[in-house]
Amino acid sequence: MYDVVIIGAGPAGLSAAIACRESNLNVIVIDEFSKPGGRLLGQLHQEPNGEWWNGIKETQVLIDTAEKLNTEIKCGVSAHHIEKVEHGYAVHTNIGVLDTTNLLIATGAAETAVPIPGWTLPGVMSIGAAQVMTNVHRVRVGKKGIVVGVNVLSAAIARELQIAGIELHSMALPIANTVTKKHADPRTVMDGLVRIAHLAPSAFLRFGSKFAKSEWVRDIAVKLYPKGGVKMWGMPIHIRKAIVQINGTEKVESVTMCDITADGEVIAGSEKTIDVDFVCIAGGLYPLAELAAVIGCPFQYVEELGGHVPIHNEQMETPLKGLYVAGNITGIESAKVARAQGTLAGYSIAKNHAKIQQAMRDVKSVRDSASIQFHPSIVEGRERIHRSFLEYENAQ
C-alpha cells in the first residue's frame, strides 16, 4: 500500500516524487519508457540568454535528488487501468496492481497526426520521434529531410536536428484537407511564427516580429511572404508553400511541393519535386489524459491548453479525492513549467501548506518567463479550467 503512486517519470512526475519524499511519504514512480525523464530526455536548445538547456543533464539532476531521498522509480511499467476503490486507487500495471491512497497522473502529451498522401512510407515520422531518435538514442534519422508543419514545436526540434548534423531542406505547410485545415492556413501559422521570432538569430527578424503582432501587419506579411521563404538558422521556413505528397516505393524518395495563396489554396502548375530521404510531420501536441478519463475525472475542452484537460484547481487537485495531475496532461507548456507543477502537486499531496503557496508562485513565475509558449492565451486557459473546478465543486 503506497501513499502515492505517480504515473509518468518526466519532469512533473520526478519533481512531485521529490516533494512527496521530503515529507517522507511512501512513493513509487512508474513509467513505460526504459528510463526516467520523459520528453525532457530529447531536449537540447539554446535559450535567448545564450544558455543551453540540456534535457539529459536536467533529468539527471532530478534523478540524483530523487535517489538521495530513496525514491522508488520503476521503468518499463505500463499502467493500463485504474479503479477507484474504498481506500483510494488500484492501478493495474504489467507488474501487478499497485494500491495507493493518492494518485498523481503526469503522463504528459502526445503528438497530433497530420495525414498527407504518402505518410505511411518508411522514413516518415513525427517531429517528436525524430527528436527522440536523435537526442536520446543517437540514431541518425536520415541524410536530408524536410519538415511538414510550421509551429513552435517543429521549429525548436528542427534546430536540434541541425545541431546534430542532419541536413534539412526546409520547413513547409501540409496541404489543406479536413484534418490539416488549421496547420495549412498561412495566417494561422504566421501567428505562431510571431511568437517564436525572438529566438531567431537574425536581428532583422526579431525586430520585425514586434510589428507583426498587429493583425493587419500580419496579413500584409503573409501576402508579401518571400517565395524563397524566411531563413532561420540557414533553413528556409515557408508559409506560402505546401507539401502535396510524399513520394517513394519502398521508402521516402522525395516530396512534391507547391506554391499556395495567402488563403492556403494551391497555385496550379507550381508543383516541384524535392529529393529527400526522410520527412518529419509536425501537428502539435495534445494532453495525454486517457487514464484520468478511465476513473471518471471530469474534463473540459480548452483550446488554449491544447485540448481536453482534466478539471483541476491551482494546487493541481482534481474533483476526485486523492487524484492529482501535473505537467502537460494539464495543458501544453514547457518542461520547466511541468517541473514546477510537479513540485506543487507533490506539496499538495503531502499537505505541506508551508510550501504550497510558494510553489504556486513559482509556477506562475516560470510560466511568465518562458521563452516560448505553445498557445498564446495560456494564462486565460488556466483561469478557465480553475473556474471550472470551482463550478464543479459548488454543483456537487
Domain boundary among 223, 246, 281: 281
How much is the pLDDT for 199? 53
How much is the pLDDT for 46? 74
Residues 273 and 295 in one domain: no
Q: Name the least confident of 116-125, 210-219, 250-259.
A: 210-219
CATH code at 153?
3.50.50.60
Q: What is the tens place of the pLDDT at every residue in 332-375?
A: 999 999 999 999 999 999 999 999 999 999 999 999 988 777 78
Q: 72 pLDDT band (50/70/90 cuts)? A: very high
pLDDT of 202 over the 70 cut: no
Residues 292 and 271 in one domain: no
Q: 195 pLDDT band (50/70/90 cuts)? A: low
Question: What distances in angstroms separate CA 147 from CA 52, 118, 127, 157, 388, one per listed residue?
Answer: 23, 14, 8, 10, 38
Residues 125 and 39 in one domain: no
Domain boundary among 248, 281, 314: 281
Total domains in the chain come to 2
Residues 302 and 247 in one domain: no
Residues 106 and 117 in one domain: no
Residues 303 and 277 in one domain: no
Residues 131 and 234 in one domain: yes
| Cα angle 258, 263, 266; round to 5 | 25
Q: What is the tens place of the pLDDT at every residue in 128-152?
A: 999 999 988 999 999 999 999 998 8
Residues 322 and 213 in one domain: no
How much is the pLDDT for 205? 47
- Backbone φ/ψ region at 201: left (φ over 0), alpha (ψ -120 to 50), beta: alpha
Partnered with residue 104 across adjacent β-strands are: 6, 324
How much is the pLDDT for 227? 85
What global pTM score does this model have? Answer: 0.90
- The residue range of the domain holding 381 is 2-110+285-395
Q: What is the tens place of the pLDDT at every residue in 247-276?
A: 999 999 999 999 999 989 999 999 999 999
pLDDT of 50 over the 80 cut: no
Domain boundary among 255, 281, 307: 281
- 336, 362 contact by CB (below 8 A): no
Residues 139 and 255 in one domain: yes
Residues 88 and 154 in one domain: no
Residues 253 and 137 in one domain: yes
How much is the pLDDT for 194? 66
